[in-house]
Chains A and B, each alone.
Chain A
Amino acid sequence: MSLLSILGVISSAIFSGTSLLYTTLGEILDERAGIVNLGLEGVLLVSAAAGFGVTSQTGNPYIGVLAAMLAGGLMNLLFGFLVITRRANQLASGLAVMFFGFGLSALIGKPYVGARINSLPRFMLPGLASIPALNTSQFKFDLLIYMVVPMAMLIWWLLFRTRWGLSLRAVGENANTAFAAGRNPRRVQYQALFFGGLLAGLGAAHLSIAWTMTWAEFMTAGRGFIAVALVIFSKWHPARAIAGALLFGGAVAFQLLLQASGIAISPFLLDTIPYVLTLVVLIVWGGTRKYAAPASLGRVYQGTEQ
């Protein structure tokens, strides 16, 4: 196992984990406001397809990224309309959005299957380039990768150091209390969903535009659900999400490493690692007494009766 291959794993982990981290950060925002979005998978697919398509059309990956973000925000707003305004069951609505995303993404992406695009340029951070060991093409990362950890810190700051974040968390803990404190829970939830959708779109953009540079149906392969589980794993905290994303991104890369080392475990069993890991995490963390979830997660805000 050479240094090169270890670096390769780390590099893969970073590439794979970045989109996961953006998505997780977005879902953390949503869930902190009390809404579980099981349709994240669909949101990601539509954003990935939209971003890829726009990039292919315009030749400009940055516009593509913006398009993906916008698509994510809009999909989440659609979801928000169902669960906030129409007060529908969050789980069922999420699954409906998931189906919708399956189909819509296939429709949007069809003309672009197999297309080649200008991807985001990859470069090394000036400081790192001077370290000979790290000076490989594997450690050239794109802008979105460099932005993801600062983004996590930004989300942390927003959630815990601003009035907006306090309101958002209050709504997710107890919407009635937030209302009593003069907040508008519905508006807060819509805002959370929209920004969460932008972030999810960013994650999807990284997946299709920056990393794989392709579009294929169902290409997200359950990342939406892994993100939902990652939110639990990171106890709804942006900092822990970084570790989690690396871990899960690494699980994929780990599989490649095993294959490269000639260890003969079936790739299909290795495929299950992220999901099994997620399940284990859920069982271990979910089984603790002090559950760190926002207290009103999943509950539909009914409004106040006079």
Chain B
Amino acid sequence: MSQTTEAPARTSLPALNILLVIVRYLIIFLVAFGLFGVILLIAGKDPVLAIQDTFSSTLGSAYNFSEVIVKMIPLLFTAIAVALPSRVGLINVGAEGQLYMGAWLATWGALTFASLPAWILLPLMVVLGMIGGGLWALVPAFLRARGWVNETITTLLMNYVAPSVVTFFIYGPWRSPFNSLYPQTVDFVPAARLPTFFGTRVHLGLILAIVLAVLYWFAMKYTRWGLEMRAIGGNPQAARRNGIPLTLYIVAVMCLGGAIAGLAGTSEISGIHGRLRPGFSPGFGYMGFLISWLSGGNPIGILVMSFVVALISSGGDILQINQGLPFAVVNILLAITLFVVLARPALLVKGKKA
């Protein structure tokens, strides 16, 4: 007989709540898609065709659907990497840089320990990826904990440093002697590759991400640390007076967020690419920020939103091919969605910031 029951829920009509949530999100997306469609029209493109193409290419076949899942994996990681610090009131925009540094350290592991068997090498790479991302978040965390610089701008700036560092290694010490056309590292040994499923590109990283999401949900809801984190997020002054060690939590949670973002990078290079390429992230870190904000840091919301954003992202590929629009255009849709939520926060699930 377990003693550990959760703090009892506060609403009495869960079904109605879920319905309201769905309605809210529908409104958000309808408005966003509508505005996006208008912009497309002005640009002389066909929005209806765009939506049709998107749906058919993403949900049309099992393989296409699996590609959406593939896109979703790093988004899950980065969204959690932003959501976790947000619960203590930190804004982590540095997931992009943290994922690059995670990928970097994991690559070092893959290249240096290429002779190890997979069951040692892969966990090693996971750990390295977390260390890489976590360390990259340490500097902003420390500066913020001391009250010197806001973590938003430090993480943003470090986003610009990380890809350059990675590129330096790719062009330099790690450059593959083969493939002289595109600079990249040598291919990883098979032991360094995350296994995939059912002939698709969906890799083990998905399981890892989902496990992480569950852990995140569990931690926030049931554990003591989740309780204290939420207390900090709600009222830092009271939390300090109640004896909760603020500085410790700020640094720890920020670094943990960085570590999870590092996992995004690790899973991408190990699961998808099998090598380290320059610029392998089309902005996963920023999309993760968006997802976290849109879902209010809620784990289920993150799962749903990651899928939706992955869908939109795939749509961007289609738009590029079919209608000649640059991929970056999906950012408009994502941005408008965020605009809608910012302009009318009542539409958000929990009604609070990420």
Contact = CB atoms under 8 A, between A and B. Distances in A.
Are any A and B Cβ atoms less than 8 Å apart in their complex? yes
A215 B48 CA distance: 29
Interface string B283-320: 00010011001000000000000000000000000000
B232 interface: no
B91 interface: yes
Contact of B168 (A96, A99, A221, A268): A268
B22 interface: no
Interface residues of B, number: 49
A99 B143 contact: no
Interface string B140-169: 000100101110111011101100110110
A229 B157 contact: yes
B260 interface: no
Given A86-B343, A283-B148, A103 B160 contact: no
A18 to B, nearest CB: 21
A229 B153 contact: yes
A131 B94 CA distance: 49
A77 to B, nearest CB: 13
Given A269-B168, A283-B143, A222 B335 contact: no
B215 interface: no
Contacts of B153: 38, 225, 228-229, 282
A223 to B, nearest CB: 10
Contact of A99 (B164, B334, B344): B334
Contact of B93 (A81, A89, A95): A95
A62 interface: no
A275 B327 CA distance: 26
9 contacts: A89-B342, A91-B152, A104-B332, A107-B325, A225-B156, A229-B153, A278-B157, A282-B157, A298-B150
Nearest to B166: A268
Interface string B70-93: 000000000000000000000101
A238 to B, nearest CB: 20
A50 to B, nearest CB: 13
Given A91-B152, A283-B143, A103 B330 contact: yes
A82 interface: yes
A129 to B, nearest CB: 39
Contacts of A272: 160-161, 164-165
Contacts of B158: 275, 279
A279 B155 CA distance: 10
B50 interface: no
A110 B43 CA distance: 10
Interface residues of A, number: 43
A95 B168 contact: no
Contacts of A228: 153
B336 A282 contact: no
A287 interface: yes
Given A225-B156, A268-B168, A286-B148, A103 B331 contact: yes
Given A95-B286, A99-B338, A268-B171, 16 more contacts: A81-B343, A103-B335, A106-B326, A106-B328, A107-B328, A107-B329, A110-B325, A217-B326, A225-B157, A225-B160, A269-B165, A275-B160, A279-B157, A282-B149, A282-B153, A283-B148
Please classify the interface of chain A as helix (H, G, I), strand (E, B), loop, or mixed, using the class held by over half of its residues.
helix
B123 interface: no
Q: Which of A38, A95, A105 has the most CB of B within 10 A?
A: A95
Nearest to A100: B335
B172 interface: yes
B245 interface: no
Contacts of A286: 143, 148-149
A102 B161 CA distance: 19
Nearest to A291: B148
A86 B342 contact: yes
A279 B148 CA distance: 12
Given A38-B152, A91-B152, A283-B148, A99 B286 contact: yes
B342 A279 contact: no
Interface in A56-108: 81-82, 86, 88-89, 91-93, 95-100, 102-107
Nearest to B139: A279
A276 B329 contact: no
A148 B9 CA distance: 60
B353 A282 contact: no
B333 interface: yes
A99 B333 CA distance: 9
A92 B338 contact: yes
A103 B332 contact: yes
Nearest to B42: A107
Nearest to B140: A279
B100 to A, nearest CB: 12
Given A91-B91, A106-B326, A107-B326, A100 B39 contact: no
Contacts of B146: 287
A259 to B, nearest CB: 14
A184 B293 CA distance: 31
B351 interface: no
B182 interface: no
Closest 6 CB pairs of A and B: A103-B332, A103-B331, A100-B335, A106-B328, A99-B335, A268-B168
